């Protein structure tokens, strides 16, 4: 009773006591699952600059006039098989050159061949969903490969333009830089 009088004197109403206790729970914040990250779409990124050079060095032989097209594609599924089509326009200058090693060409044997060149290769993405590769293009063939006795047709200058790499599975295309070479 003294407590009730003291509370009344302070201007507060007495608190009623009951024998039952009820617990009030505050709802805990619900966590909404965040959406899983959307898989990265397949796309090409800049290839390792030395990739094409290393492939050319390892090829040897008449590979001096091949176009070594290096590319790097990311955003693929690990283990995904992808067919790549590399295509472009090749132009090659040919002459009938002596076969005995003498630097001499048969009179009037110069010819230029220009045409579409392409190569297709199926590759598999690595565990991180990437493909790093080099695919080679060869120059267009000469229209007339016949030479006089003691001579053989040889390319002495080649250039490649409008070279593209197409991921045929995902319909993604990348334009590779042009290239070419000339006999020294």
pLDDT tens digits, residue range 90-135?
A: 999 999 999 998 888 999 899 999 999 999 999 999 999 999 999 9
Residue recorded with tokens 């490969």? 145
3-state secondary structure of 31: coil
- Residues 48-71: what's their mean pLDDT? 82
Enumerate residues 6+ apart whose C-beta is below 8 A from 84: 71, 120, 121, 122, 123, 131, 133, 135, 165, 166, 167, 168
Per-residue pLDDT band for 177 (boundaries 50, 70, 90) equals confident
Other CB atoms within 10 A of residue 140 CB = 19
In the chain, the percentage of residues whose pLDDT exceeds 90 is 55
Catalogue the E-assigned strands of the chain: 43-45, 67-74, 81-98, 111-124, 131-137, 151-167, 172-175, 179-182
In the chain, the percentage of residues whose pLDDT exceeds 70 is 73
The predicted structure's pLDDT at residue 164: 94
Statement: residue 87 has pLDDT above 50 = yes
- Residues 150-161: what's their mean pLDDT? 93
- Residues 2-11: what's their mean pLDDT? 40
Boundaries of every domain in the chain? 43-182
For 45-89, give the DSSP string.
Answer: EPPPTHHHHHHHHHH-GGGGGSEEEEEEEESPPTT-EEEEEEEEE
The predicted structure's pLDDT at residue 37: 46
Per-residue pLDDT band for 9 (boundaries 50, 70, 90) equals very low
Statement: residue 162 has pLDDT above 50 = yes
Please compute, for residue 9, the number of CA atoms within 13 A of its CA located in the half-sphere on the CB side.
6
Other CB atoms within 10 A of residue 2 CB = 6
Q: What is the model's pTM? A: 0.70
């Amino acid at each position: 009773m003294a407590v009730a009088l003291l509370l009344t004197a302070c201007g507060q109403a007495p608190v009623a006591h009951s024998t039952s206790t009820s617990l009030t729970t505050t709802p805990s914040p619900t966590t909404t699952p965040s959406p899983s990250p959307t898989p990265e779409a397949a796309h090409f990124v800049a290839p390792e600059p030395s990739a094409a050079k290393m492939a050319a060095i390892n090829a040897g032989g008449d590979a001096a006039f091949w176009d070594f097209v290096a590319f790097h594609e990311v955003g693929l599924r690990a283990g995904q098989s992808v067919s790549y089509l590399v295509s472009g326009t090749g132009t090659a200058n040919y002459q009938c050159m002596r076969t005995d090693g003498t630097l001499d060409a048969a009179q009037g044997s110069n010819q230029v061949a220009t045409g579409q060149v392409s190569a297709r290769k199926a590759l598999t993405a690595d565990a991180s969903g990437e493909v790093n590769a080099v695919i080679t293009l060869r120059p267009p063939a000469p229209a007339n490969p016949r030479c006089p006795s003691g001579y053989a047709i040889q390319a002495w200058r080649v250039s490649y333009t409008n070279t593209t790499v197409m991921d045929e599975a995902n319909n993604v295309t990348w334009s590779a830089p042009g290239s070419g070479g000339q006999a020294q």
